[in-house]
Structure 1
């Protein structure tokens, strides 16, 4: 398993082995384009983020699983969300728990800049460069839906930073989705495999999300790591939840950036890709029982 030291060493080794300048430029451009794909700031992507937040809250019947609600209600609780995106999770919580304070970090400022609760602050920053907060500053730290973004070494660094800034007795929670499916049809398998393949080219192991509890429990000052899973069937065979997730998936796969990058990854033309999505995907969902699994891990930082 990687750690902070290996993460920093990997950064240094990447600087030593330099290809020709034109190769650097083209590779950098390619990586930036791919990251724009996975960190899209277009209105449709933000709308999907909002809808997906409420879907996850519904299947878990809560916005978090750590036992921190009493503290949030009491007030004075300080909460940090990493990779907050449009800030939906924080906006929801900050409205509900007005006596506590909330902070969101993201590399792209798609979060609200002005119209937001007074107890909520957003900061543009890259977590992989380290957090600017002091040790033991937050009562509750949280990261969700970053399985397509962080490499294994980055995950180790992010988790260690979350533990560092969490107060003794506070909680760290990590949440996401298993990125492989059971029972999917050939079209959905082809699409999801294309996403995973593009991630692997950035050294992102999408399967790691499902196993992060084992990495979290190896960090110092961590009590028992708890785990909860919720699953449903994608499409009409999964009822209302399945249909909502089907619609979210369809909206994602027909977006301009998905058409561009996933058609290339699959090795077909954009026109062939569009025909596959528009004419086959929804019909396939009616005939299959693709299982989608969401997971949360949480642990308390040891009291010193």
Structure 2
């Protein structure tokens, strides 16, 4: 059953020399600040993105779990919960079920939250401390540029381990490439994908994650649901909202610094490219972004 008791295992690392500790910690913190930014604008962006996804799919989830959530006694786990928007939405709606969110960075609410919701600071790539078969519904969203392929294997095995037989697992994300984009948006996006590749992230993996899920034990048929949107004014109101999210990310302090270096231009040239050239390009193009959800029911052990 997945990695049974894997939460008791710990990665063994050589203790670095004292003069290396600070620099390695600083390097990790910079990566987290870049990919898991905790400033107010980033948190606002994550809140808005949650509601955008819910609108695209006309639901907060696609797994057939709502009847059990309404009935009560359902236990739900959200991996990489961020500011907790998805969980806050569900815990207020399904008051008789219990919700837990875990994330490596504690940007979730510490005090003001429903009684049926709790948050735990944890790095899921080191394992989960929950018992086997504990959750009725386990959810993962927007982790496609966070986990390496090897980490995905481990995280999926942990998710399956802590989910009850008969319970549901759902992974939601977007395709990390676009159809019909212009040269400017392609250049900026390629710089982001290149920076991910330097961290051993396979940015194409998420779009075919169902193939990786199917290799896991105790898994039934993997269901896949997709919806597209056009970024920019040619995509209507929803396209303009997503355009705002794109600009918010690409004009964040860390994105300006890292992506300008990746492209090989000055920060001022980069900002000019995004604020002027890209916004004009969006008016002339129809870049499609595909969002995808995978859901599957855990089977009884063989």
Give the TM-score band, short-chain normalised: over 0.9
CA shift for structure 1 position 255: 1.3
| One of 31, 43, 48 as aligned partner of 1:46 | 43
Match of 1:7 in 2: none
In the alignment, what sits opposite 1:58? 55
1:29 deviation in Å?
A: 3.5
CA-to-aligned-CA distance 1:29-48 (integer Å, 9 cap, x gap): 43431221110000000000
3-state SS in 1 of match to 2:295: strand
Matched with 2:128 is 131
Are residues 1:97 and 2:94 paired? yes
SS in 2 for 1:245: helix
Pairwise CA distance, 1:252? 1.1
1:108 matched to 2:126? The reply is: no
2:165 to 165, 168, 174: 168
Q: Is 2:265 aligned against 1:281?
A: no
Asked if residue 198 in structure 1 is aligned to residue 195 in structure 2, the reply is yes
Instruction: Classify the secondary structure of the residue corresponding to 2:59.
Output: coil
Asked whether 1:144 is paired with 2:120, we answer: no
Alignment of structure 1 residues 231-250 onto 2, 5 Å: 231-250=228-247
CA distance in 1, matches of 2:274, 2:160: 42
Q: Distance in 1 between matches of 2:190 and 2:22?
A: 27
Residue aligning to 2:65: 68
Per-residue deviation at 1:24? Answer: 7.8
Aligned residues: 296
> Once superposed, what is the RMSD of the aligned Cα atoms?
2.1
User: What does residue 213 of structure 1 align with?
Assistant: 210
Residue number in structure 2 paired with 1:265: 262
> In the TM superposition, what whole-angstrom CA distance separates every residue of 1:238-288 from its partner, at most 9, and x where no partner exists?
111111000110111111111111111111111111111111111110001
1:180 matched to 2:177? The reply is yes
Distance 2:121 2:248 in 1: 27
SS in 1 for 2:109: coil
How far off is 1:293 after superposition? Answer: 0.3
